Chains A and B, each alone.
Chain A
Amino acid sequence: MRYSWKWSAVLTDPYFDWIISGLELTLLLSLISWAIALVLGCLIGIARTAETKWIRSLAAAYVECFRNVPLLVIFFLWYFVAPEILPRNAGLWVKRDLPFPEFWTSVVALSTYTAAMVAEQVRAGIEAIPRGQANAALASGLTRWQVYRYILLPVGLRIAVPALGNEFINIFKNSSLALSIGLLELTSRTRQISEYTYQPLEMFITASAVYFVIAMLTTAIMMAIERRSRLPGMITRATR
């Protein structure tokens, strides 16, 4: 049996528009989730280095929970399980009134998962800073929160930039799992088109190429950010 290639299918109406709309959703999902993951991850990363033991433990528990469960299962947990165990009214709202539920559930799943990864990188960045730095800042009269705000976070994040760049590429690739709860993002769209056209190879190759190009672009952007945010005098390492 020979497969008959038909690349023109990719550009045919309406399939091309479907690919574009899938790509839009993928990018939107990745960027929104990334913004949330970055903020949440910084907070949890800070909490991992807190002085108070129960705060540290709580943050560690969060990270372990999300790190040790497959992301696909996390998608199912948020989509099928969370509405059932939420307080009655909140659960009902999620099931009946939440607009665009596949999308926002995907945002929640991706950002809560990625926050755990970001938190680990932020923690590692902060812990790479010699302890004396925080002491010097405290000794000058800064509050503990100011020490994080002006010293530990800016320096720790600079140290973490290459690792965070990898996490961004991961969130972008992981967004394809949203197809499992019915979001018509890029992967889901290409699968849909291949079912209509019986041209699955072209479609999945196209999807791969799009993911690849965007990941490469991200890498380039991250390298530029890394160059600009590099600590003066710090020995650098390659992004990947």
Chain B
Amino acid sequence: MIAIEHVSKWFGEFQVLKDCSTSVAKGEVVVVCGPSGSGKSTLIKCVNGLERIDRGEITVDGVSVASPKTSLPKLRARIGMVFQNFELYPHMTAAENIMLAPLKVLRRSKETARTRALELLERVGLSDFADRYPANLSGGQQQRVAIARALAMDPIAMLFDEPTSALDPEMINEVLDVMTSLAQDGMTMMVVTHEMGFASKVAHRVVFMDQGAIQEDSPRDVFFDRPTSDRAQLFLSKILRH
């Protein structure tokens, strides 16, 4: 579904991504982890073209992201994305947030979009919050609305960039639960996260990044039982001690 091949990227002189290659198959959940500044966010943003790549190629469902012939809005409409800081639109209610892209991109009717929005809110456990503004929702609730917003476009894959890092500890699980149920329904997911509990339960593969390079790309059990790179071992020992 998602193929990342020999991708490199520079911010000026600084090389953020160094010859990264990995893939996410249909229905697969791939967790990306690594220390801060290792390029995880940059890599995942390249997948839907929010960041441009300088070398290599990324294809999603056979469509080349960097090709000038690709219509990025059309491609992005098929890929859901959830951000660390939720990024709900502050002037719209939860339901309106979810309805915007279906209305304006897919040109759905208002009733269809609203019905679907309410369904999705129910799915993330927020039926009673459709008409609340983001400012009146907790962090965990906002992130669940953001997930519903991404799902409203019936995406073929979902990208998550540290979806729980900005949350208070007691809200992390409500978001992880939604993501777990998505994974169980067979959604194709690429998830940047430090939640190793989630990774060890849900991920099919784990990608470990350090200093812009993919140091390790292993099936989940291999990654947790006997990671091959020293850096990954060190990272795991640090993070699991917390």
Chain A interfacial positions (CB closer than 8 Å to B): 130, 132-133, 135-143, 146, 150-151, 154-155, 158, 231-234
Which interface residue of A132, A140, A154 has the most chain B CB atoms within 10 A?
Answer: A140
6 smallest CB-CB distances across A and B, nearest first, come from A233-B135, A141-B77, A232-B133, A136-B87, A140-B101, A139-B81
B135 A135 Cβ-Cβ under 8 A: no
Give 9 A-B pairs besides A141-B73, A233-B90, A233-B136 with Cβ atoms closer than 8 angstroms: A133-B89, A136-B83, A137-B89, A138-B76, A142-B104, A150-B104, A155-B89, A158-B91, A233-B134
Residues of A with C-beta under 8 A to B91: 154-155, 158, 231-232
B105 A141 Cβ-Cβ under 8 A: yes
Residues of A with C-beta under 8 A to B73: 138, 141-143
Minimum C-beta distance from B154 to chain A (A):
11
Q: How far is the CA of A36 from the CA of B196 in the complex (A)?
A: 56
A140 B150 Cβ-Cβ under 8 A: yes
Q: How far is the CA of A140 from the CA of B45 in the complex (A)?
A: 13
Q: Is residue B85 within 8 Å, beta carbon to beta carbon, of the partner chain?
A: yes
B76 A155 Cβ-Cβ under 8 A: no
Q: Determine chain A's interface SS by DSSP, over half rule.
A: helix
A130 B85 Cβ-Cβ under 8 A: yes
Contact of B83 among A132, A142, A154, A231 (CB under 8 A): A132
Residues of B with C-beta under 8 A to A158: 91
Q: Determine chain B's interface SS by DSSP, over half rule.
A: mixed
Minimum C-beta distance from B71 to chain A (A):
9
B101 A141 Cβ-Cβ under 8 A: yes
B85 A140 Cβ-Cβ under 8 A: no
Q: How far is the CA of A155 from the CA of B91 in the complex (A)?
A: 7
Residues of B with C-beta under 8 A to A146: 104-105
Q: How far is the CA of A211 from the CA of B221 in the complex (A)?
A: 77
Residues of B with C-beta under 8 A to A143: 73
A142 B101 Cβ-Cβ under 8 A: yes
A130 B89 Cβ-Cβ under 8 A: no
Q: How far is the CA of A137 from the CA of B90 in the complex (A)?
A: 12
Residues of B with C-beta under 8 A to A133: 87, 89
Q: Is residue B194 within 8 Å, beta carbon to beta carbon, of the partner chain?
A: no
Chain B, Cβ-Cβ closest to A151:
B89
Q: Is residue B74 within 8 Å, beta carbon to beta carbon, of the partner chain?
A: yes
Residues of B with C-beta under 8 A to A130: 85, 87
Q: How far is the CA of A141 from the CA of B49 in the complex (A)?
A: 11
Residues of A with C-beta under 8 A to B100: 137, 140, 142, 150
Chain B, Cβ-Cβ closest to A136:
B87
Residues of A with C-beta under 8 A to B81: 136, 139-140
Residues of B with C-beta under 8 A to A151: 89
6 contacts between A and B (CB under 8 A): A130-B87, A133-B87, A136-B146, A139-B159, A155-B89, A155-B90
Q: A139-B50, A140-B153, A141-B76 are known contacts. Are A231 and B90 too (CB-CB below 8 A)?
A: yes
Minimum C-beta distance from B83 to chain A (A):
6
